C-alpha cells in the first residue's frame, strides 16, 4: 500500500506515515459504517451522549498528548493548540451531547388550513445515514474532527478524510472514541490525498467540506452529480474596521493577536484592516509594537513561542507573493516582510502600510501572518471597502459608541460580525456561523443548523378522526359531512370579504 509521510512543518522532520487509501478502501469503510449506523442510531440521544461525554473527559485527560500531536504536525504554538483546538473539542462533545435532543426534537406544527383540522402535524429529523467530512490542515481537531461530533450526535455514521498534511490528530481521536465505547465501524478515518476525498464523496449521503474555495467548488460539483447535500466552509478575507472613537489599546491588541493566531492560518482571522484617519497613526504605532514583540519559533511547550510556523508548504509561497507584490507596488513593511532562509515552513509576522485595493494582499486570501492596514476617511468608506470582496465569512468593528459600531457591523456583508471583539464568536457553539457570499461557502456550522444539516427531514400527519367524519369520505351527498359544510362556509366567507 502506498503511504504518505507526515512532516513537522516547523523542523522538516518526518514524524509518521499514513496509508494513501484507494477508492476500494473507502468503499469498504463505507460499507462497515453503513452496517454499524442503524445500531448507533437505535441507542437514542441518551445512549449516544454517554459515549460523547466519555470522549469529552478523554480529551481533558489526554490534553498533553493531543496538543503534542497537533503541534508536531501543524507547527502551531502550544497556546494556539490548547485554546483553539483542545478547549473547543472538549466543549463540543459536551455541547452536542446536551443539545442534540433539543435541536432535533419533534416539532408540533399548527395550521389554519381547515382540511387538516383535528389532525396532528409533526416535523421530525432523522439521521442522514452516512456523513462524509473532509477536513483542512490548519485545525485538525476543531475543523477536521469537530464537524464529526454533531453528525455522530444526530445518529449518523461518519467517514472522516483529514488533510494528508495533518492526519495524525484525527487518528489519535479515533483511538479515543474506541476507548470510550463507540461501536466499531460508526466512525472511520480514511487517510489519503485528493483522490481519497473524491472517493468519499461518491460513497456518502451528505458531505461537509472545509478548505479552499477552489477545492470546495470541486466537492460541490461532485456532490451535485450524485444529488447529495454539501455544506461548505471556504475562504475568508476578513476585514476589521477601527472607528475614530475606538479604544485603540483594545483594538490594536485584537488586531495583533487575531491576525497572527495560528500564524494567520485561520479562515476567520483578521486579514485586512481599515482605520479612520484621525486615529490611524496611533493605531499603526500600537499594532507595530505589539507585532514586533511576538516570539516566533519551534513550539516547545507552554509559553515557549507566540507564533509557530506555517503548516502547508505551498502557503508560504502565497504569503511571500502577496507581500512581495505589495512592496513592489509601493507598500511598506513596518515589521517582517521578508521570507527567511531556515529549515521548515516559515514567514515572519508582517505589518504593511500604504496598501491599496489593487493589491492581492487586500483582495485574495493570504492565510498567513500578515496585517495590511489602510487609512480611510470615514466609516462609509470603510464599509464600502470591506464589502468590496468576493468573500464574506467574518468581520469585526471597533468603536466607542456601541450603537454606532453595531450599525456599522450590520452593514457588512459577512456571515458573522463581532463588535469590539474578534474570532471568539466561533467559540459560542449556540451561534451559527458561515459565509454570506459563495466564495466563503454555503451552509452553517454551530447552532441548530449545525446539526439539522446532518439529518433528513420528515413531515407526519396523523389523523385522530374516524373515517366517516372526514371531509374526504366517499361517496358523499351534500350535507353528509358537517366538517365539509364548515370548510365551505369558511371558504365562502373568505370570498365575500376578499
Instruction: Name the residues annotated as catalytic.
Output: 233, 267
Contact between 132 and 206 under an 8 Å Cβ cutoff? The reply is yes
* Angle at the Cα of 337 from the Cα atoms of 71 and 344, rounded to 5 degrees: 30
Count CA atoms within 13 Å of residue 216 on its CB side: 22
Contact between 120 and 459 under an 8 Å Cβ cutoff? The reply is no
| Distant-in-sequence, close-in-space partners of 422: CB < 8 Å, separation ≥ 6 | 240, 254, 258, 270, 394, 396
Contact between 73 and 169 under an 8 Å Cβ cutoff? The reply is yes
Burial pattern 274-310, b for ≥16 Cβ within 10 A else e, equals bbbeebbeebbebbbebbeebebebbeeeeebbbbbb
- For 338, 472, 487, the CA distances from 493, given in Å and listed in that order, are 78, 21, 10
Tell me how far apart the alpha carbons of residues 495 and 498 are, in angstroms, rounded to a whole number: 5
What are all long-range contacts of 323-328, with beta carbons under 8 Å and residues at least 24 apart? 323/347, 323/350, 323/352, 323/361, 323/370, 325/359, 325/360, 325/361, 326/352, 326/355, 326/359, 326/360, 326/361, 326/372, 327/352
Amino acid at each position: 500500500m502506498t503511504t504518505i509521510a507526515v512532516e513537522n512543518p516547523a523542523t522538516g522532520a518526518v514524524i509518521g506515515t499514513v496509508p494513501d487509501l484507494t477508492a476500494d478502501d473507502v468503499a469498504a469503510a463505507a460499507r462497515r459504517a453503513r452496517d454499524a449506523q442503524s445500531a448507533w442510531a437505535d441507542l437514542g440521544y441518551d445512549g449516544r451522549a454517554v459515549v460523547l461525554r466519555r470522549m469529552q473527559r478523554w480529551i481533558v485527560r489526554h490534553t498533553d498528548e493531543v496538543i503534542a500531536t497537533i503541534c508536531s504536525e501543524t507547527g502551531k504554538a502550544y497556546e494556539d493548540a490548547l485554546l483553539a483546538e483542545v478547549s473547543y473539542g472538549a466543549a463540543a462533545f459536551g455541547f452536542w451531547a446536551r443539545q442534540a435532543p433539543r435541536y432535533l426534537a419533534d416539532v408540533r406544527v399548527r395550521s389554519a388550513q381547515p382540511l387538516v383540522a383535528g389532525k396532528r402535524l409533526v416535523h421530525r429529523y432523522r439521521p442522514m445515514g452516512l456523513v462524509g467530512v473532509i477536513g483542512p490542515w490548519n485545525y485538525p481537531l476543531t475543523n477536521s474532527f469537530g464537524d464529526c461530533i454533531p453528525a455522530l450526535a444526530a445518529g449518523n455514521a461518519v467517514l472522516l478524510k483529514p488533510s494528508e498534511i495533518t492526519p495524525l490528530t484525527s487518528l489519535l481521536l479515533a483511538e479515543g472514541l474506541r476507548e470510550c465505547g463507540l461501536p466499531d465501524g460508526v466512525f472511520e478515518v480514511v487517510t489519503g490525498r485528493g483522490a481519497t476525498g473524491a472517493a468519499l464523496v461518491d460513497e456518502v449521503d451528505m458531505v461537509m467540506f472545509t478548505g479552499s474555495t477552489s477545492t470546495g467548488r470541486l466537492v460541490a460539483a461532485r456532490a451535485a452529480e450524485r444529488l447529495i447535500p454539501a455544506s461548505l466552509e471556504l475562504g475568508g478575507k476578513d476585514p476589521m474596521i477601527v472607528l475614530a472613537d475606538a479604544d485603540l489599546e483594545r483594538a490594536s491588541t485584537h488586531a495583533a493577536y487575531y491576525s497572527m493566531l495560528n500564524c494567520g492560518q485561520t479562515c476567520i482571522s483578521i486579514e485586512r484592516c481599515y482605520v479612520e484617519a484621525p486615529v490611524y497613526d496611533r493605531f499603526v504605532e500600537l499594532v507595530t509594537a505589539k507585532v514586533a514583540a511576538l516570539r516566533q519559533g519551534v513550539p516547545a511547550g507552554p509559553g515557549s513561542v507566540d507564533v509557530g510556523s506555517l503548516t502547508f508548504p505551498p502557503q508560504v509561497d502565497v504569503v511571500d507573493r502577496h507581500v512581495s507584490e505589495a512592496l513592489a507596488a509601493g507598500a511598506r513593511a513596518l515589521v517582517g516582510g521578508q521570507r527567511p532562509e531556515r529549515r521548515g515552513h516559515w514567514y515572519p509576522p508582517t505589518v504593511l502600510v500604504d496598501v491599496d485595493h489593487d493589491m492581492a494582499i487586500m483582495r485574495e486570501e493570504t492565510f498567513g501572518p500578515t496585517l495590511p492596514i489602510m487609512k480611510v476617511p470615514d466609516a462609509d468608506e470603510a464599509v464600502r471597502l470591506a464589502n468590496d470582496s468576493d468573500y464574506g465569512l467574518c468581520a469585526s468593528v471597533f468603536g466607542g459608541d456601541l450603537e454606532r459600531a453595531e450599525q456599522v457591523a450590520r452593514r457588512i456583508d459577512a456571515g458573522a460580525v463581532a463588535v469590539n471583539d474578534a474570532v471568539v464568536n466561533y467559540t459560542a457553539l449556540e451561534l451559527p456561523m458561515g459565509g454570506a457570499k459563495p466564495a466563503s461557502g454555503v451552509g452553517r456550522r454551530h447552532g441548530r443548523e449545525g446539526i439539522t444539516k446532518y439529518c433528513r427531514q420528515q413531515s407526519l400527519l396523523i389523523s385522530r378522526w374516524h373515517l366517516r367524519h372526514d371531509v374526504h369520505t366517499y361517496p358523499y351527498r351534500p350535507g353528509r359531512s358537517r366538517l365539509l359544510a364548515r370548510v365551505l362556509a369558511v371558504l365562502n366567507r373568505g370570498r365575500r370579504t376578499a
